[in-house]
Amino acid sequence: MYTFSSKLKTFSFVLMILGALGMGYGFFTAPKTDDVKEMVHTKAEAHETDENDGAEHATAEMGSEEEHAHLEHVLHQAQNRPWSAFFISAFFFLMISVTVLVFYAIQWAAQAGWSIVLFRVMEAITAYILPGSILLFIFLLASGLHFNHMYAWMSPEAANDPILQEKSWWLNTSGWMIRGFVYLLAYNFFRWILRKNSIALDASGDIKIYKSTFNYSVVFLVIFAVFELFMSFDWLMSLDPHWYSQLYSFYVFASMLVSGITVIAIVTIYLRTKGFLPFVNSSHVHDLAVYMFGFSIFWAYFFFDQFMLQWYANIPEEAAYFHPRLVGTYQPLFIGMIILNFVFPFLILMDKDFKKTPWFVITAGLILLTGHFIDVYQLISPATVGNHWSFGIPEISSLFFFLGLFVFVIFNALTKASLHAKGNPFMKESEIYHYS
Amino acid sequence: MNNKVIQAMYDDDDVLLKAVKETREADYHIEEVFTPFPVHGLEKAMGLKGTRIAIASFIYGVIGFSFAIWMMNYMMIEDWPQNIGGKPNFSYAENMPSFIPIMFELTVFFAAHLMVITFYMRSKLWPFQEASNPDPRTTDDKFVMEVSLDGDEKKMSDFLKKTGAIELKVAEKS
């Protein structure tokens, strides 16, 4: 039985309080709509001096009406910043716990033997799905009710856009909200039922429960495959409503699955060094590291597939998505992310002995998590805050808040049940699991 | 004097594995074990050193990767610049994404082929090599453990019989 160490508890609370304060500051200091006229005057003067990306702003002789529209756009982007920061962190941590649930369901559906000793760790990480989806749903509500300008297709100007009119049978606010609610409801339902069954299995060891968990896992995997596809389209890809890529959902899934497995590995190693998981041996850690390595390459594969086809074809409406990322202001993030997410794990997780060394896996894991956070950041930011991105108080405090909440929820969930899922019929196989 | 071996034949891989362990514990020197298929844990039981083929494979991969970079630079940039899809044909860096599939392919190609060739060379399996297993039945369903003969032949035979050998043969090893 795990006891929540007071140090960690304090740490998570400090993160949450600091984060909440910073987020409040971010929302409070975001420019108000009344400021738009003021900005027309002040920005017009500052216009020539602070623009460094010529293409978009090179129109010195812009008509005052156009200029006004442009400044309104800039204002919207500035107003979006705290929302964007909130969304990035909320999505990142929610998807980590959802993909951990997917990984967990895969273990059930495959009737895997090696991973049973890690089941309680995985279940604890999925405990974050409930608070995470509530917070994310607040964001969805706020977007749908026009508290922010994150989704361009929701704005009234979209009515004049023939492409968005064509897409409006899918991209309309009410449908979008209902779908968002259904996705989150499904994740929460399956998390609840799988956890309930796992605890019940501990008490009775009844094989019927085992079979029903298997069935639920299979159903969840099928439902998730469909929902994740549309969830990525709805929440992320529609930020750039003119652009599309069929690979996008798999790309997002790969990114989040690596992060999820990395979190499993880090929490496992942490608990093991504290002595709470005596039945986990270095072979289990090794196998988690293999998954981290493998799915990093999986991610790189999808990344490159999506990128290269559009880069090579160079069709304007497709290239518009990659322009800010590849050659625009997001270039350091875009290139840095490839190094962090592919080159580093590829080289440092290749050796078998390194995968068995806990501190090595932790280091690689932290690099991977940083890289995939940057990945989510560069997926969302170019469309919402535009070219003038920064990583300041709103972003850092959102990250702090959600990280604190995440740590608190998962370690609190670890105290709720024995860390040894003794009811599972494959437990013995997992305990003696040994990779040559 | 010390080039005689006893070839003990077994008909089950589990028995063989146990016999290998017992033989090593009894301080006899195992020269070689012939099996018709890979037996799990045999290399550990025999006390063989870990393979270094992974390191070799990494080096071959790096060679293939570098070769791909050099080759594409020579072909597409230096020797005969071609305009494909309007990509700048004077700059390697700006054309790099289209060369990544080739880098990947040649890395895999070099690593895989050179690794297999290395393995054959190390196992002395070059062309026209005569088979060196002592008994053709080891390619079918029997296992042979070769133990170098030192000291009392009778005592050793009794020991090997006890480990489950079904057939014993003393042979001269060149």
Taking the domains of chain B in order of start, what are their residue ranges? 4-50+131-172, 53-122
Chain B closest CA to A262's CA: distance in Å?
25
Interchain pair B100, A308: CB under 8 A? yes
Q: Which residue of A lies nearest to B50 if distances are taken between CA atoms?
A: A436
Residues of chain A with pLDDT under 70: 33-63, 436
Cα–Cα distance list, A22 to A19, A36, A43, A86, A266 (Å): 5, 24, 26, 11, 27
Round to whole Å and give the CA distance between A349 and A364.
7
Chain A closest CA to B168's CA: distance in Å?
32
| B149 or A18: which leads in pLDDT | A18
Cα angle value B79/B84/B87 (rounded, 5°): 90
Q: Which residue of B lies nearest to A314 if distances are taken between CA atoms?
A: B85
In A, which residues are within 8 Å of B58 by CB distance? 350
Chain B closest CA to A351's CA: distance in Å?
9
ipTM score here?
A: 0.78
In a domain, A436, yes or no: no
pLDDT in tens, A185-221: 999 999 999 999 999 998 888 899 999 999 999 999 9
- Burial readout A209-241 (b: 16 or more C-beta within 10 A, e: otherwise): bbeebbebbeebbeebeebbbbbbbbbbbbbbb
Helix (H, G, I), strand (E, B) or coil at A379: helix
Round to whole Å and give the CA distance between B116 and B57.
9
User: Does A315 reach chain B within 8 Å, measured CB to CB?
Assistant: no
In A, which residues are within 8 Å of B97 by CB distance? 304, 307-308, 311-312
User: Does B52 reach chain A within 8 Å, measured CB to CB?
Assistant: no
Helix (H, G, I), strand (E, B) or coil at B30: strand
Number of domains present in the structure of chain A: 1
In B, which residues are within 8 Å of A351 by CB distance? 54
Please list, in sequence order, all residues whose beta carbon lies within 8 angstroms of the beta carbon of residue A145, skipping any fewer than 6 positions away.
none
Answer whether B156's CB lies under 8 Å from B149's CB: yes
Which of A308, A351, A436 is opposite residue B97, by nearest beta carbon? A308
Q: Which residue type, as a one-letter code, is found at position A328? A: G
In a domain, A215, yes or no: yes
DSSP state, residue B166 = S
The per-residue pLDDT for A51 is 45
User: Does A354 reach chain B within 8 Å, measured CB to CB?
Assistant: no
In a domain, A69, yes or no: no
Q: What mean pLDDT comes out for the span B127-141?
A: 86
Interchain pair B44, A311: CB under 8 A? no
Round to whole Å and give the CA distance between A303 and A252.
9
Q: What is the CA radius of gyration of chain A?
A: 23
Provide the CATH topology of domain B4-50+131-172. Alpha-Beta Plaits (3.30.70)
Answer whether A159's CB lies under 8 Å from A165's CB: yes
Interchain pair B97, A307: CB under 8 A? yes
pLDDT in tens, B94-118: 888 889 999 999 999 999 999 999 9
In a domain, A48, yes or no: no
Name the pTM for this structure: 0.88
Mean pLDDT of chain B: 89
DSSP state, residue A53 = -
Round to whole Å and give the CA distance between A331 and A304.
16
Chain A closest CA to B166's CA: distance in Å?
30
State the residue range of the domain holding A267.
6-33+75-431
In a domain, A47, yes or no: no
Chain A closest CA to B1's CA: distance in Å?
38
In this structure, the number of other CB atoms found within 10 A of the CB of residue A111 comes to: 11
In a domain, A216, yes or no: yes
Helix (H, G, I), strand (E, B) or coil at A275: coil
In a domain, A14, yes or no: yes
